[in-house]
């Protein structure tokens, strides 16, 4: 056995429960399906000891046809390929397993009626502001599920990489806080089962695609959370992973086939060279290592070229949408899986839910690499994506750099200005997800060296420029990670989410005056944005920052309204000559400054305070 497979075998021997139960069929996935779906195809995976030796037939059911019984390398798996005619009625399919040695066995498979509103689910858009939560670190709403029998990773709040106890109930209990702050959508990092021996809290090493981790709650409670969030005006974005699984995934104990994962003679990690995708000179070996290499040793890389696995992953995403009522998906590491599979995956979801939104993570500061993945982009190699939204890492990077850079012969705003000026490479810039920070990078307040004035400039920009803003939990109360970029510290507990916390950000108890001010600032800004539709979809015009000047001005406008945004990074007040902006303002400026609720009456010059932002509703 090669060293790589020996490593897997040794790990599983130490961590796995008994391989098989006594019942014939241990798993049937997806656990149910719905009639009336846009696609008539359905693949059912049956798993059980030697199930491949049984004859499988489908008892007569009007509108349902068993097209193929596919047996694979591992005799413990059978894949059933069915078609469901549009007129098929809900009910229970009967699947019969025959053997010469024993009596027939009958399986009941539910076909459920589809809720009429699901196919018209409207995804998130530039009208939304997204609140990103790492659930283990947000609120512990149910202490009874902190530790669960059979799961090694126990709650230990003193361990930065350990589980801390946050859960679904904690989110439910604080939906009012999220809504009152002005957020309209929730992106929650993965909550599916992560039965890993350590560092399981983050959720990205999935061990069961159809099960919410019991330390978070149940899938029914998750569905209830989505419904309650919707009732409060919040949509929910589910974080999914198609590139890899956790090493303790039940598949790894008994793979359907050797090509279910990308195998190597010895452990090979991805090179993370995403530029390979666009590189006309890239070596095939480098491409293979990028796509097929493992993310880390504990996360086996899935081979989406395997047709049964590809269908499994597509159906799993659709199952969660239909079952839970989520309004969006954030797909982790979008460029890493097989490219054609990701196209098929996103296209299949769009076919079922035309108004649904998927955002893909492409961590690159090069706009050309990010633009490659967005739907509507005409790529040099003919690749046509079906992905509506991509995360705008270039803009986040430029914003932080512009705020931190010192003034030289040119304005320090130039990097941000020129990054936005490259929006011509995107098919739809307004569908990009822009963000202050996220769970994989230092807190924004830390990135800005805990400069409160720069923090407010950044938030004003994010709330008023094009795109879909996303803010990480705790950013609204100045969370930091000083002296460390350890993810466990970046994803530290939200104060007040645990009983006996000395600081409670939900009530204000124990918070500093600056934290309270930041929280109120964010609340005012986002609630104003919520009802200001010109920010959601209006045109954008920005003016090049003048050399040696530290002022950046842009406008959002449509036929009904104009918004002027002024960002002054100078350490002193500035008297702004408005004649520069006459093409959109005319000869003078009148309106209301939003942040301080101050009237402005027919001025040609405007005093802007040092390190200050102004948002003006122009009249």
- Give the domain range for residue 553: 537-618
In this prediction, residue 93 has a pLDDT band, given cuts at 50, 70 and 90, of very high
- Residue 66 within a domain: yes
- Each residue of 211-261: pLDDT tens digit? 999 999 999 999 999 999 999 999 999 999 999 999 999 999 999 999 999
With tokens 């100078």, the residue in question is 570
Q: Of the residues 114, 134, 169, which one is the last residue of a structural domain? A: 114
- Residue 583 within a domain: yes
CB neighbours of residue 519 within 10 Å? 17
The SS3 of residue 465 is: coil
Please state which of the ranges 10-24, 157-171, 598-612 shows the lowest mean pLDDT.
10-24
- Each residue of 97-146: pLDDT tens digit? 999 888 999 999 999 999 877 788 999 999 999 999 999 999 999 999 99
In this prediction, residue 13 has a pLDDT band, given cuts at 50, 70 and 90, of very low
Instruction: Count how many domains the chain has.
Output: 2
- Each residue of 364-388: pLDDT tens digit? 999 999 999 999 999 999 999 999 9
In this prediction, residue 5 has a pLDDT band, given cuts at 50, 70 and 90, of very low
- Model pLDDT, residue 116: 72
Per DSSP, the residues of 93-129 read EEEEEEETTEEEEEEEEEEEPPPTTGGG-----TT--
The SS3 of residue 330 is: strand
Res 57 pLDDT > 90: yes
Does pTM top 0.85 for this prediction? yes
Res 548 pLDDT > 90: no
> What is the rounded average pLDDT for all residues in the chain?
95
CA 274/CA 285 separation, integer angstroms: 14
CA triple 401-476-557, angle to 5 deg? 65
- Residue 572 within a domain: yes
Q: Of the residues 52, 85, 114, which one is the last residue of a structural domain? A: 114
In this prediction, residue 195 has a pLDDT band, given cuts at 50, 70 and 90, of very high
- Model pLDDT, residue 95: 97
Reported as type and span, the H/E element at residue 525 is helix 513-530
The SS3 of residue 466 is: coil
% of the chain surpassing 70 pLDDT: 96
In this prediction, residue 18 has a pLDDT band, given cuts at 50, 70 and 90, of very low
Q: Do the beta carbons of residue 427 and residue 469 sit within 8 Å?
A: no
- Each residue of 508-517: pLDDT tens digit? 999 999 999 9
- Residue 258 within a domain: no
Q: Of the residues 96, 114, 132, which one is the last residue of a structural domain? A: 114
- Check which CATH number belongs to the domain holding 567 and give it: 2.60.40.1180
Res 10 pLDDT > 50: no
- Model pLDDT, residue 1: 39
- Residue 436 within a domain: no
CA 240/CA 489 separation, integer angstroms: 23
- Model pLDDT, residue 445: 98
Residues tagged active-site = 332, 361
Tokens, residue 418: 């020129």
CA 405/CA 413 separation, integer angstroms: 8
- Check which CATH number belongs to the domain holding 33 and give it: 2.60.40.10
Task: Give the N- to C-terminal CA distance of the chain in Å, as an integer.
Answer: 75
- Model pLDDT, residue 100: 86
- Each residue of 152-168: pLDDT tens digit? 999 999 999 999 999 99
- Residue 506 within a domain: no
HSE, side-chain direction, 13 A CA sphere, residue 289: 16
């Amino acid at each position: 056995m090669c060293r790589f497979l020996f490593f897997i075998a040794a790990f599983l021997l130490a961590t796995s429960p008994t391989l098989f139960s006594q019942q014939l069929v241990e798993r049937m996935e997806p656990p149910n399906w719905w009639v009336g779906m846009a696609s008539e195809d359905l693949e059912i995976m049956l798993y059980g000891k030697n199930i491949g030796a049984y004859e499988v037939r489908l008892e007569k059911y009007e509108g349902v046809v068993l097209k193929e019984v596919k047996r694979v390398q591992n005799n413990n798996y059978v894949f059933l390929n069915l078609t469901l005619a549009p007129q098929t009625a809900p009910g229970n399919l009967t699947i019969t397993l025959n053997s010469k040695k024993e009596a027939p066995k009958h399986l009941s498979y539910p076909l459920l009626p589809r809720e009429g509103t699901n196919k018209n689910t409207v995804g998130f858009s530039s009208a939304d502001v997204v609140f990103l939560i790492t659930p283990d670190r947000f609120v512990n709403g149910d202490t009874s599920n902190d530790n669960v029998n059979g799961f090694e990773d126990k709650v230990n709040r003193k361990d930065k990489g350990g589980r801390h106890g946050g859960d679904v109930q904690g989110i439910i209990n604080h939906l009012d806080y999220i809504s009152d702050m002005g957020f309209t959508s929730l992106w929650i990092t993965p909550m599916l089962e992560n039965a890993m021996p350590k560092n399981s809290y983050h959720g990205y090493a999935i061990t069961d695609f159809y099960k919410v981790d019991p330390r978070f709650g149940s899938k029914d409670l998750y569905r209830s959370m989505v419904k309650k969030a919707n009732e409060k005006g919040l949509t929910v974005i589910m974080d999914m992973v198609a590139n890899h699984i956790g090493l303790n995934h039940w598949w790894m104990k008994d793979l359907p086939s050797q090509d279910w994962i990308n195998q190597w003679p010895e452990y090979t990690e991805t090179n993370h060279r995403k530029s390979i995708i666009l590189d006309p000179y890239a070596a095939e070996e480098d491409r293979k290592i990028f796509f097929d290499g493992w993310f880390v040793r504990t996360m086996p890389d899935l081979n989406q070229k395997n047709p049964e696995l590809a269908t499994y992953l597509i159906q799993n995403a659709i199952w969660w949408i239909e079952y839970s009522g989520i309004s969006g998906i954030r797909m982790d590491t979008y460029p890493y899986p097989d490219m054609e599979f990701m196209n098929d995956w996103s296209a299949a979801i769009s076919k079922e839910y035309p108004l649904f939104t998927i955002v893909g993570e492409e961590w690159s500061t090069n706009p050309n690499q990010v633009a490659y993945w967005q739907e509507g982009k005409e790529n040099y190699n003919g690749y046509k994506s079906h992905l509506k939204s991509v995360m705008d890492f270039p803009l986040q990077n430029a914003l932080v750099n512009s705020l931190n850079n010192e003034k030289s012969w040119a304005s320090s705003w130039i990097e941000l200005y020129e990054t936005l000026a490259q929006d011509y490479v995107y098919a739809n810039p307004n569908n990009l997800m822009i963000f202050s920070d996220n769970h994989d990078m230092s807190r924004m307040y830390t990135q800005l060296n805990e400069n409160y004035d720069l923090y407010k400039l950044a938030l004003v920009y994010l709330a008023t420029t094009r795109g879909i803003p996303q803010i990480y939990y705790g950013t609204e109360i100045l969370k930091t990670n000083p002296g460390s970029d350890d993810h466990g510290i970046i994803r530290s507990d939200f104060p007040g989410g645990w009983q006996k916390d000395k600081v409670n950000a939900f009530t204000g108890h124990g918070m500093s005056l600056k934290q309270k001010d930041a929280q109120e600032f964010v609340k005012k800004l986002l609630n104003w944005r919520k009802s200001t539709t010109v920010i959601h979809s209006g045109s954008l015009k920005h003016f090049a920052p003048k050399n040696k000047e530290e002022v950046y001005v842009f406008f959002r406008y449509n036929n009904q309204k104009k918004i002027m945004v002024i960002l002054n990074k100078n350490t002193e007040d500035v008297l702004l000559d408005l004649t520069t902006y006459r093409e959109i303002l005319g000869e003078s400026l009148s309106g209301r400054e939003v942040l301080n609720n101050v009237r402005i009456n027919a001025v040609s010059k405007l005093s802007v305070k040092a390190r200050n932002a102004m948002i003006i509703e122009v009249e």
